Copies of this chain bind each other. A is one copy, B any other.
């Protein structure tokens, strides 16, 4: 197998196979994972990441593909990460379904990856941010993170981007669903897709109302724009890119880009730290220790808090 330094060097040159290989290492939590992350660190922090979320049927995949085209016209290198927290399938599996994405499959300046990410700590939940690091290190200017559903994990993943796009479509009581799922709060840019259908204006109005966009705000506040698109025909997509660039400029101007990235990094570091600690609990010594403590709890000799204290003390001694 190729060594990590060579893979990272090739990924930086934009070689798709090296990028794919690195993401696989990340996704499988391979032993080389730490080495990969260490080698990538100096080259990360350049990509602008955009999260896309919305209910099934709003046209996320089509919109993502249209955005890829738009950014390619601007000469940008683009990464796409399609994240499905509920799917047990990963890697190439989902891509077969993503017909739209096939348009970009042969473009050497576009990297597309599907990923299953379970929401569990110690599972694949931190694989997504780390796959982002690979795409970032591979010189992508823009990374689009598309989540498949609108569950809590999807919303969390989408909200971790520099800019979060919430997609809706006319009808389906979408606005109310969105409000329920808590995705209105995370939207920096709203897109009403399938705007050639009946009810698009009503959806935009309803959204405008729910977002309270009519209300007075501080001059410096970001006012999430609502853009109407027909992504399948590429209509309105340049306006979405324009809105994204405006938001990015606003983020930079207000120090928010750096702040968001620090928060994201802090979350990531904390999740890894907890996984490290959990792994320590699960290691040979700790496992026996935990079993003994559990037995004493069952016997009523020890309460679970004192048992946890002993476990923590054992860890931090080790």
* Residues of chain A having any CB pair with chain B under 8 Å: 33-34, 37-38, 40-45, 121, 129-130, 133, 258, 261-263, 265-266, 268-270, 272-278, 281, 290-291, 293-295, 297-309, 311-312, 315-317
Contact = CB atoms under 8 A, between A and B. Distances in A.
A306 to B, nearest CB: 7
Nearest to A269: B307
Contacts of A38: 303, 305-306
A44 B303 CA distance: 10
Contacts of A294: 262-263, 265-266, 269
B276 A37 contact: no
Q: Which of A37, A304, A311 has the most CB of B within 10 A?
A: A304
Contacts of A291: 262, 266
A41 B302 contact: yes
So how many copies of this chain end up in the complex?
Answer: 2
B41 A300 contact: yes
Contact of A274 (B41, B278, B293, B295): B278
Identify whether the interface residues of A are mostly helix, strand, loop, or mixed: helix
A114 to B, nearest CB: 22
A226 B311 CA distance: 41
A40 to B, nearest CB: 7
Contacts of A277: 274, 277, 312, 315
B293 A269 contact: yes
A129 B294 CA distance: 14
Q: Which 6 A-B pairs have the closest CB atoms?
A: A272-B308, A316-B316, A266-B294, A37-B303, A265-B294, A41-B303
A315 B312 CA distance: 10
A316 to B, nearest CB: 4
A298 B41 contact: no
B45 A276 contact: no
B262 A308 contact: no
Given A293-B269, A294-B269, A305-B38, A45 B300 contact: yes
Contacts of A307: 265, 269, 272
Given A300-B44, A315-B316, A290 B305 contact: no
Given A43-B300, A272-B305, 11 more contacts: A37-B304, A45-B298, A262-B294, A262-B298, A265-B293, A265-B304, A266-B291, A269-B307, A270-B278, A277-B277, A315-B316
B269 A300 contact: no
A279 to B, nearest CB: 10
A308 B270 CA distance: 7
Given A291-B266, A294-B269, A299-B45, A304 B130 contact: yes
A161 to B, nearest CB: 15
A33 to B, nearest CB: 7
Nearest to A305: B34
A85 to B, nearest CB: 11
Nearest to A267: B294
